[in-house]
Amino acid sequence: MCGIAGIVNLKPGLPGPTREALSKMAGALEHRGPDEFGVYRDSRAGLAHSRLSIIDLSTGQQPLSNANGQTWLVFNGEIFNYVELREELLQLGHQFKTKSDTEVIVHAWEAWGDSAFDKMNGQWALGLWDSANDVFVLCRDRVGVRPLYYAEQSGRLIFGSEVKALFAGAPEMTREIDPLGLDETFTFWSVVPPQTMFKGIRELEPGHVRVYRKGELVRDVAYWEPQYPEGQAHRFRGTLQDATEALSSALLEATKLRMVRADVPVGSYLSGGLDSSVVTALAKQAKPSGFKTFSLRFADAEYDETPYQRAMVARLGTEHAEIVVTRKQIADVFPTVIRFTERPILRTAPAPLFLLSKLVHEHGIKVVLTGEGADEMLAGYDLFREAKVRRFWAQSPKSTWRPRLLERLYPYLTRSPVAQQALTRQFFGRGLERANQPGFSHEPRWSGTAALKRLFSARVKDALQGRDTVKHFLASLPSAYNRWPKLAQDQYLEVRTLLSGYLLSSQGDRMLMGNSVEGRFPFLDANVMALANSLPPSYKLKVLDEKHVLKRVAKGLVTEEILNRPKQPYRAPDALSFIGADRPEWVDEVMSTGALESSGLFDPKVVGQLWQKCLTRSDDGQFSNTDNMAVVGIASAQLLYRQHVLAPPSTKQPVLKTLIER
């Protein structure tokens, strides 16, 4: 795993990128790759790389070129099937200098062009400079495991794994929060690529390749799009038992590949839930002895899953390590968390994961497997079940018993029978007439979150001019969307908004790489995704049983308690972390009227009312979902402003192990 960055002149007559600028870009990404640094530059383009050595430890330095030294590459990530692709390329007559996956990409591009990327099974972001043809390529893996940002500025393209690298390499660039980014965050729970939090900076969309020729953008297109059943097309044709066997073998293969394709030991996260338990059990088959697992525990019992974690450790006999996280720790580490997320978040949940990857790093492990992606690919979330019930209800809106199915999803609704039922109907029954329209599944979430936009400052509200963010987003859906089954439509929206923008980014790559740890996700393997997407909806969500086919796979792999437990969403204490008497100073600083006026993002008077309410509540009171999102969202946006807008860019220049100047 690594950090990549670079500068490419798009207009003739500009001076070439300087060694200093490129070194600073590599330096800003040191946490992503502290082992080695490299820079390539010529009169038109420059590439920078910070390396975390995982494969081909002795010769995998970057930037790296093809045989004649004309094509240069910086690459972050892993191509898990590089051995197979290398073999295919050898047959075509290509010759290799190293055993690294990086060199395979250069040759694959030479041999196959854009279609090389669809052959790759992995997680990557890359920049490729073909100096002979004056072609520059940016590319990113299918669902956006690895990050990639770019800006076109004064005739130059500037790109990097994180926004901080762009600011370090082009310190003259304006650093300004984009109101559109705030608008998306306070709707979808995250910015959705290509939108970012910074004006002028874009995020390359997952599954896309962006190509410049002679300084002109010639295409930015999807080399891959998910395929769900359309009538009889793209549809798995076997029985549920066939699907169980196929998923079982695809997951085992995906897990093994992620274990074998590393020259350093690989460990695993164990949350106590089904997904990471399955992954860990499969990984243990691949490495029976000395396999390390890591778990997160909470001092607050409400969030804690210790008994389930320990049950899996006892069953598998792994070498286990764990940390117990408190509210105070979450508050203390939160500014660091936002330094890495580079975007506001509405939940504190990434913070404990930053502390967990620190534990992994301290144990000398550079790579961990997790269960991320299972809920999206195999329909694990309550949201999918909720949408199914609401659609069923919409077929007979006057029914009184249909909405009662919601009580099976949310048992708390049954506590006050008469009362809550009426309120439940009011809350979930909105917009039933839109049951067949795009976005129906997510409307309660999106509209509930968007109500928080009342906290925005007049300046931000003016800039947005009543823009309809949801409508804007829904206009970008692929043409096949309406032909997919309803569940597939709901899954697609979840993948586009929350998986790529939040779970793999703020809660994934950034929290892992902040401590120089690489995450690998068997459920996001290209073959596993293709299989999962092709399954009939009823194999994934059987009536209201979520991840049905995965539970069948899991039989015999995980303990009975884990197989039968109700799904517990991963959560951490949110607003509660920030209101304790022992809260760190930064909290009151960023929530102060002065700091709010300085950033100009929120209305100080309205935020003052919210904050006063929070501080006067008892420490153990339950905050509403709305209050939690408001507090965490404001605090993180304020920190973003302080750390990425007000603070000057990084100027650190590391010692370069590789320097190629031509």
Partner 1 sequence: MELKDQVRQFIISNFYVADPAALNDDASLLDAGIVDSTGVLEVITFIETTFGLTVEDAEMLPDNLDAVNRIVAFVNKKKGK
Contact residues for partner 1, defined by CB under 8 A? 416-420, 422-423, 426-427, 430, 447-448, 450-452, 454-455, 603, 606-607, 609-610, 612-613, 622-626, 630
Measured from the CB atom, the residue of 174 and 612 that comes closer to partner 1 is 612
Q: How far apart are CA 500 and CA 516, in angstroms?
A: 20
* Shortest CB 610 distance to partner 1, Å: 4
Q: Would you call 466 helix, strand, or coil by DSSP?
A: coil
Query: Residue 373 CB, nearest distance to partner 1 (Å)?
Result: 29
Give 230 or 407: the residue with its C-beta nearer to partner 1. 407
Q: Which is nearer to partner 1, 69 or 417 (CB)?
A: 417
Helix (H, G, I), strand (E, B) or coil at 552: helix
Q: Is the CB of 215 or the CB of 600 nearer to partner 1?
A: 600
> Is the sign of the CA dihedral 247, 248, 254, 257 positive or negative?
negative
Query: Shortest distance, CB of residue 493 to partner 1, whole angstroms?
Result: 20
DSSP string, 42-89: -SSEEEEEEE---SSTTT--SSEE-TTS-EEEEEEEEETTHHHHHHHH
Comparing CB distances to partner 1, the nearer of 194 and 608 is 608
Query: Residue 548 — φ and ψ, nearest 5°?
Result: -55, -50
Least Å from the CB of residue 197 to partner 1: 22
Q: Report residue 351 as tokens.
A: 């913070």
Q: Least separation, in Å, of the C-beta of 619 and partner 1?
A: 17
> Minimum distance between the CB of residue 626 and partner 1, rounded to whole angstroms?
5
CB 323 within 8 A of CB 297: yes
Comparing CA positions, the residue from 95, 99, 29 lying closest to residue 58 is 99
Q: 3-state DSSP: the chain helix, strand, coil percent, rounded to 5?
A: 50, 15, 35
Smallest gap from residue 576 Cβ to partner 1 (A): 13
Write down the least CB distance from residue 421 to partner 1, Å: 9
H-state helical runs in 395-508: 406-409, 417-428, 443-450, 458-464, 469-474, 486-494
Closer to partner 1 by Cβ: residue 365 or 607 = 607
Judged by CB, which is closer to partner 1: 406, or 529? 406
Closer by beta carbon to partner 1, 133 or else 612: 612
CB proximity list for 46: less than 8 A, separation 6 or greater: 6, 7, 8, 16, 17, 18, 21, 22, 39, 40
CA distance 29 to 516: 10
Say which residues have a Cβ less than 8 Å from residue 549's Cβ, sequence separation at least 6: 240, 243, 244, 247, 378, 535, 539, 540
Answer for the pair 602, 453: CB distance below 8 angstroms, yes or no. Answer: no
Nearest distance in Å: CB 426, partner 1: 5
Nearer to partner 1 by Cβ, of 76 and 449: the residue is 449
| CA atoms in the 13 A half-sphere facing the CB of 537 | 17
What's the length of the chain? 662
Task: Give the separation between CA 234 and CA 86, rounded to whole angstroms.
Answer: 29
Tokens of 342: 């580079």
Angle of the 417-428 helix axis to the 382-394 helix axis, nearest 10: 90
C-beta of residue 187 within 8 angstroms of C-beta of residue 449: yes
Q: Cβ neighbours of residue 123 under 8 Å, at least 6 residues apart?
A: 77, 78, 141, 145, 146, 520, 521, 524
Residue located via tokens 């990327």 = 117
CB of 204 to partner 1, least distance (A): 33
CA dihedral 445, 448, 453, 455 (to 10 degrees): -130
At which residue do the structure tokens 């500037």 appear?
Answer: 158
Q: Which is nearer to partner 1, 186 or 354 (CB)?
A: 186
Map residue 646 onto helix, strand or coil: helix
Token representation of residue 589: 């600083």
Q: How far is the CB of 396 from partner 1 (least distance, A)?
A: 20
Shortest CB 615 distance to partner 1, Å? 13
**Separation between Cα atoms, residue 343 and residue 639, nearest integer Å:** 9
Distance CA 484, CA 490 (A): 10
Q: How far is the CB of 10 from partner 1 (least distance, A)?
A: 43
Nearer to partner 1, 44 or 347 (CB): 347
Name beta bridge partners: 518.
367
Rounded to a whole number of angstroms, the minimum distance from the CB of residue 433 to partner 1 is 14
Nearer to partner 1 among residue 453 and residue 567 (C-beta): 453
Question: What are phi and psi for residue 367, nearest 5 degrees?
Answer: -135, 130
Q: Give whichever of 172 and 620 is closer to partner 1, judged by the CB atom.
A: 620
Helix (H) or strand (E) holding 562: helix 560-564
Q: What is the DSSP-derived secondary structure letter of residue 630?
A: H
Place of tokens 């279609």: 115
CB of 403 to partner 1, least distance (A): 13
Q: State which residue, 37 or 623, has the beta carbon closest to partner 1.
A: 623
Task: Name which of 444 and 485 has its Cβ closer to partner 1.
Answer: 444
CA distance 365 to 142: 26
Write down the least CB distance from residue 335 to partner 1, Å. Answer: 24
Smallest gap from Cβ 613 to partner 1, in A, equals 6
Residues facing 212 on adjacent strands = 136, 217
Q: 414 by DSSP, 3-state: which? A: helix
- Cβ closest to partner 1, residue 106 vs residue 610: 610
